[in-house]
Chain A
């Protein structure tokens, strides 16, 4: 590219991904500071407040962790598919499908006792997400249809289904005309964990832990890795690619669905159109930053949860909440760019540069 080119390093820089993430955060904070100054705010004040609101107290931490739940589960959903080189872009829709499933159970059995109702809602949520992912999974496994586009399209379909429900059959008669479903029964709320966090945090942590362990230790995880590395090798050793694609994408949908279920039994008090809140898309970024590893997903999800909580908090300073979206996206762009430098180095064209200059001799030594 314009006299420069990328050369693969003999081996990636140690700790490259962590450094890349740190670089991404730094770049995002710098650009964010520029935007804050330009809009007449004090970036130090804003960042201090963001930090305080997300990590400054138990209460803050509990809010951050609560936010990290859907991000982490969506991120895990994407990462599970990513292990096999598949892209589930449909976590957003699957969160919605999960929330719809959970809300449906609550409608069916509003008088059920909590210990029955909550698990039933969560199972329905898991099923909802899995069902939405089933179509793309089948199409990919049997016909080779690109799952990126099908899952993406189904997000828009899911948004319209929930919009229809809260505007039509499930509309709250006491909702003063707002497009919202009725308030969920009191006993459908997950028990508290600490401060403002409910045990959804524990459920999500448990799921992440189990998958992190299972994916790296089990036959299933091993076979998944083969299938993701080489379709031919998988075929040879008797790992069915089709079965793996199917199970992985459906599982991915199920995990995202669970996020919707926890949201509905946790933070949200009713089903609304914006129930997924962009977490499905953010989850893709979380998974990408975590290099598709469940352990990394948890850490990045907490960081992103903090940015989101902090972004909401500085609205009181007159800063638009959109700053948190901007920072998240910039972290990704920064980290993506930085990550490349941990595996590649940029070098001058050297000997073969189109217009040799006096510097070529020096450049050659670095090749």
Chain B
């Protein structure tokens, strides 16, 4: 394994990490407000197909990104209206959103399947920094979308922890009745959080079809939306830890197809493990790690309040008694 393979791997880690971070950040925002949205897979597919279509029509990836964000924010609001405003079960509504999203994306994108991509996010070389060995070809040449994801992560942390709006959003996710009594508009905040979560999942979808795996098919999302759901738990609902998790899980996704190269043939040079790790094990790790983390969270919650937003999954109606 030589330098080029390693750099190739790192670039792929960044790409998968970006995809996962955008989607997981969105899911985290929704969950922080108390709304579990199991529709990420469907939202990502909707984002992917909308962005790819705009890309084909206009050739402009940024226009495609914005379009996907808007479309999926509206699409996610179906879940918002049904589960928050009307008050149906979040689990069922979210899963239905996934089924609807995958179906609708396949339906709308039928003619796009064999279309060649006409727009893609370009790598952004950050001046002289791009000449630094290793870092230059990886971090300092990544697309602006990756930088945008990082910026959104920072902004999310700031808003949640340092602003009145963020305090209200967290309060709504911890106890809607308390937040309501303090004058916080519960339903409105949750609807907005779900829509923002959708916008971010839409951007993830755009990054998927316009950079990570250019092109569209109904298999594009390949279960990565579920990893985003897992990441929120793995990252204990904190933007920084979700970032770490995104890089880690992104690393596993990047590693999976490359594992064969790790087992060096006799005479081959570079980094060799000398034994085989089956890609299947690596591909399962995100889910298994998430289960482990969830168990640890539950054990810890025996002695103090859980890190999970307490009101997740709960419908709030003011006059219920």
Contacts and interface: CB of A to CB of B under 8 A. Distances in A.
Nearest to B312: A146
Given A337-B86, A337-B88, A153 B97 contact: no
B288 interface: yes
Interface in B277-321: 278, 280, 283-284, 287-288, 290-291, 294-295, 298-299, 301, 308, 317-320
B66 interface: no
B25 interface: no
Contacts of A150: 291, 294
A329 B100 contact: yes
B110 interface: yes
A157 B288 contact: yes
Which interface residue of A161, A281, A339 has the most chain B CB atoms within 10 A? A281
B99 A153 contact: no
Interface string B38-55: 100000000000000000
Contact of B93 (A164, A323, A328, A336): A336
A285 B78 CA distance: 16
Interface string A220-232: 0000000000000
Interface stretch (B13-21, B129-137, B157-165, B226-234): B226-234
B64 interface: no
Interface stretch (A4-12, A49-57, A245-253): A4-12
A290 to B, nearest CB: 12
B95 A156 contact: no
A363 interface: no
B175 to A, nearest CB: 18
Which interface residue of B100, B298, B319 has the most chain A CB atoms within 10 A? B100
B287 A153 contact: yes
Contacts of B38: 89, 152
B92 A332 contact: yes
B96 A329 contact: yes
A35 B230 contact: no
Interface stretch (B101-109, B140-148, B265-273): B101-109
Interface string B189-229: 00000000000000000000000000000100001001101
Of all A-B residue pairs in the complex, the 6 with the closest CB atoms, nearest first, are A325-B103, A329-B100, A322-B106, A336-B88, A164-B280, A153-B287
Given A143-B295, A164-B280, A288 B89 contact: yes
A145 B96 contact: no
Given A6-B87, A143-B299, A333 B96 contact: yes
A158 to B, nearest CB: 10
Contact of A160 (B106, B187, B283, B291): B283
A35 B91 contact: no
A175 interface: no
A340 B84 CA distance: 12
Main secondary structure on chain A at its contact with chain B?
A: helix
A73 interface: no
B199 to A, nearest CB: 20
Contacts of B9: none
Interface in B52-107: 78, 82, 85-89, 91-93, 95-100, 102-104, 106-107
A155 B95 CA distance: 13
B120 to A, nearest CB: 26
B298 A333 contact: no
Contact of B319 (A5, A153, A282): A5
Given A152-B38, A153-B287, A156-B223, A89 B86 contact: no
Which interface residue of A145, A149, A160 has the most chain B CB atoms within 10 A? A149
A5 B318 contact: yes
Contacts, number: 142
A326 interface: yes
A87 interface: yes
Interface of A: 1, 5-8, 35, 39, 87, 89, 135, 139, 143-146, 148-150, 152-157, 159-161, 163-164, 168, 278, 281-282, 284-285, 288, 320, 322-326, 328-330, 332-333, 336-337, 339-340, 344
Contacts of A161: 280, 284
A176 to B, nearest CB: 21
Contacts of B85: 1
A52 B306 CA distance: 53
Given A285-B95, A326-B107, A337-B82, 13 more contacts: A5-B317, A8-B320, A139-B298, A153-B288, A154-B287, A160-B280, A320-B107, A322-B107, A322-B110, A326-B104, A332-B93, A333-B100, A344-B87
B92 A282 contact: no
Nearest to B230: A153
A52 B283 CA distance: 43
Contacts of B86: 336-337, 340
B294 A39 contact: no
Contacts of B218: 322
A146 B31 CA distance: 15
Given A5-B319, A336-B82, A89 B95 contact: yes
Contact of B106 (A135, A282, A320): A320
Contacts of A143: 295, 298-299
A325 B100 contact: yes
A157 B100 contact: no
Contacts of B317: 5-6, 344
B96 A278 contact: no
A97 B82 CA distance: 33
A313 B317 CA distance: 43
Nearest to B81: A337
Contacts of A340: 86-88
Contacts of B299: 143
17 contacts: A139-B291, A146-B298, A149-B230, A150-B294, A153-B226, A153-B230, A164-B278, A281-B99, A285-B99, A320-B110, A322-B107, A324-B103, A326-B107, A328-B99, A330-B100, A332-B93, A336-B93
B99 A146 contact: no
A1 B187 contact: yes
Which interface residue of B92, B294, B299 has the most chain A CB atoms within 10 A? B92
Nearest to B289: A153
A88 to B, nearest CB: 11
Contact of B107 (A7, A35, A281, A337): A35
Nearest to A35: B107
